[in-house]
Amino acid sequence: MQARGYVSCIFACPFDGRVAHESVLKCVNRLLEAGCYEVSLGDTTGVGCPSDVNSLLDYLVQHGVPIERLARHFHDTYGQALANVWAAMGKGLSAFDSSVAGLGGCPYAPGAKGNLASEDLVYSLHMAGMATGVDYDALVEVGRFMDTNLGLGNHSRAGTVSLSRLAPKASSVKRLHWSADLLTDELEIHRSGRNLRITLNRPKNGNALTRQMITAINSCLRIQRE
């Protein structure tokens, strides 16, 4: 059975502060030597930015760690997770962890947010023309389901916007209920409160107004003003 390794707090520790590249390298090598097929590097506190990603990956590769044996796990505490993914992709990584609706966090890292939202990651990749095999709309619906049932909020920017697009749009306009005020062969007038709906019914004559029609309309408008 193959195992996947995981190194937490690759950039900063909530207790000891900044983490040295040498410490990360030591952990990665121990996990690879133990037989892990892949090691996921986790920015658990979510403090890293693209320059941190580039610096650490360059260091690991320079010290013999195969880039194809690495994955990344970014928390989005400072809103840098998606940018960090693209930085890592630029270095050759293709495996990334994420969570629907950006759920997650860390019990020993105060203030740490959840993982990069899966919806944000998939949306960004699809917009770049990359195939992921993921049905984005279905993923957004899963985010809605998780939010509804767990009540932890939906932290995906793309998912939240997409939900408003996918959700049935409720009309904010109050429906009017019309009642007949005047019905003739030439003219129909309906009333709903202070609103009038006037329908001319002389199609064969181009709906031209007659003296009687004008009088009837003026009468209804006069009553309406009163």
| pLDDT for position 95 | 95
Q: Is-contact 104 75, C-beta < 8 A?
A: yes
- Strands 179-183, 96-97: pairing is unpaired
| pLDDT for position 172 | 52
- Whether the predicted pLDDT of 219 surpasses 70: yes
Residues composing the chain: 226
Catalytic residues, by residue number, are 106
- Whether the predicted pLDDT of 167 surpasses 80: no
The tens digit of pLDDT for each residue in 112-128 reads 788 999 999 999 999 99
Between 225 and 45, the higher pLDDT residue: 45
Per-residue pLDDT averaged across 72-92, rounded? 95
Nearest Cα residue to 115 out of 96, 137, 132: 96
Q: Is-contact 122 100, C-beta < 8 A?
A: no
- Strands 38-43, 4-7: pairing is parallel
| pLDDT for position 9 | 94
Q: How far apart are CA 155 and CA 117, in angstroms?
A: 7
- Whether the predicted pLDDT of 24 surpasses 90: yes
| pLDDT for position 171 | 47
> DSSP states of the chain as a string?
---EEEE--SSEETTTEEPPHHHHHHHHHHHHHTT-SEEEEEETT----HHHHHHHHHHHHHTT--GGGEEEEEB-TTS-HHHHHHHHHHTT---EE-BGGG----TTSTT---BPBHHHHHHHHHHTT---S--HHHHHHHHHHHHHHH-S----HHHHHHHHHHS-----SPPP--EEEEE-SSEEEEEETTEEEEEE--GGGTT---HHHHHHHHHHHHHHH-
99-103, 135-139, 162-166: least confidently modelled range: 162-166
* Residues contacting residue 144 through CB under 8 Å, at least 6 positions apart: 154, 159, 163
Label residue 31 by pLDDT band (50, 70, 90).
very high
The tens digit of pLDDT for each residue in 131-162 reads 999 999 999 999 999 888 888 889 999 999 99
Label residue 175 by pLDDT band (50, 70, 90).
confident
Label residue 168 by pLDDT band (50, 70, 90).
low
Which domains does the chain show, CATH number per domain? 4-166 (3.20.20.70), 179-225 (no CATH)
Q: How far apart are CA 25 and CA 44, in angstroms?
A: 17
Across 60-64, 104-108, 204-208, the highest mean pLDDT is recorded for 60-64
Task: Please report, for residues 187, 188, 210, 211, the alpha-carbon distance to residue 207 in angstroms, rounded to integers and kept in the order given.
Answer: 9, 12, 9, 13
Measured in degrees and rounded to the nearest 5, phi and psi for residue 115 equal: -70, 165
